[in-house]
Chains A and B, each alone.
Chain A
Amino acid sequence: MGVYWAIAVRSFRRFSTYRIATASGAFTNTVFGFILCGIYLTLWHERPGLGGYDASDALTFVWLQQGLLMPVGIWGATTTGELGERVRSGEIAVDLYRPTHLLLWWLSVDLGRAMFQLVVRGGAPLLVGAFVFDLKFPSSPLTWLAVAAGVFLAILVSFGIRYLVALSGFWITDTRGMEQLALVLSTFFSGMILPLVVFPGAIGDIARATPWAATMQVPIDIWLGRNPGGTGSALLFQLGWIVVLLLGAQLVTSVATRKVVIQGG
Chain B
Amino acid sequence: MAVIELTDVARAFTVTSRTGLRRTRREVRAVDGLSFSVEPGEVMGYIGPNGAGKSTTIKMLTGILVPSSGTIRVAGVDPSRHRLKLAKRIGVVFGQRTTLWWDLPLKDSFAVLQKMYDVPPARHRENLATFVELLDLGDLLDVPVRQLSLGQRMRGDIAAALLHDPEIVYLDEPTIGLDVISKARLREFLAQINADRRTTIILTTHDLDDIEALCTRVMVIDHGHQIFDGTLDGLKSSQSAPRTLVVDLATSLPPIEVVGATVTKVDGPRQHLTFPPTTSAAPLLAQIAANYPLVDLSVAEPTIESVITQLYAPRPSA
Q: A17-B144, A261-B66 are in contact. Are A2 and B80 (CB under 8 A)?
A: no
Residues of B within 8 A of A96 (CB): 64, 83
Q: In the bound complex, do residue B108 and residue A10 qualify as a contact, i.e. CB atoms below 8 Å apart? A: yes
Q: How far is the CA of A99 from the CA of B144 in the complex (A)?
A: 24
Q: In the bound complex, do residue B64 and residue A93 qualify as a contact, i.e. CB atoms below 8 Å apart? A: yes
Residues of A within 8 A of B62 (CB): 97
Interface residues of A in 1-25 (CB under 8 A from B): 2-3, 5-7, 10, 13-14, 17-18
Task: Encode A96-108 as 1/0 by CB contact (under 8 A) with B.
Answer: 1111110000000
Q: In the bound complex, do residue B92 and residue A97 qualify as a contact, i.e. CB atoms below 8 Å apart? A: yes
Q: In the bound complex, do residue B101 and residue A98 qualify as a contact, i.e. CB atoms below 8 Å apart? A: no
Q: How far is the CA of A5 from the CA of B112 in the complex (A)?
A: 9
Residues of B within 8 A of A100 (CB): 116
Q: In the bound complex, do residue A99 and residue B117 qualify as a contact, i.e. CB atoms below 8 Å apart? A: yes
Residues of A within 8 A of B83 (CB): 96, 261
Q: A17-B144, A97-B62, A262-B66 are in contact. Are A3 and B87 (CB under 8 A)?
A: no
Instruction: Indicate the size class of the contact surface on chain B.
Output: 20 to 34
Q: In the bound complex, do residue A10 and residue B97 qualify as a contact, i.e. CB atoms below 8 Å apart? A: no
A149 to chain B, nearest CB (A): 27
B275 CB-CB contact with A under 8 Å: no
Residues of A within 8 A of B66 (CB): 261-262
Instruction: Indicate the size class of the contact surface on chain A.
Output: 20 to 34
Residue of A nearest to B11 (CB): A264
Residues of A within 8 A of B265 (CB): none
A94 CB-CB contact with B under 8 Å: yes
Q: Is the interface of A mostly helix, strand, loop or mixed?
A: helix
Interface residues of B in 69-108 (CB under 8 A from A): 80, 83-85, 87-88, 90, 92, 94, 97, 99, 101, 103-104, 108
Q: In the bound complex, do residue B65 and residue A97 qualify as a contact, i.e. CB atoms below 8 Å apart? A: no
Q: In the bound complex, do residue B13 and residue A264 qualify as a contact, i.e. CB atoms below 8 Å apart? A: yes
11 more A-B residue pairs beyond the given contacts A14-B103, A101-B84, A262-B66, with a C-beta to C-beta distance below 8 A: A6-B116, A17-B144, A94-B92, A96-B64, A99-B84, A100-B116, A260-B65, A261-B64, A261-B66, A263-B14, A264-B59
B residues neighboring A (CB under 8 Å): 11, 13-14, 56, 59, 62-66, 80, 83-85, 87-88, 90, 92, 94, 97, 99, 101, 103-104, 108, 111-112, 115-117, 144
What are 13 A-B pairs with beta-carbon distances under 8 A?
A6-B116, A96-B83, A98-B99, A99-B85, A99-B87, A100-B116, A101-B84, A260-B64, A260-B65, A261-B66, A262-B66, A263-B14, A264-B59
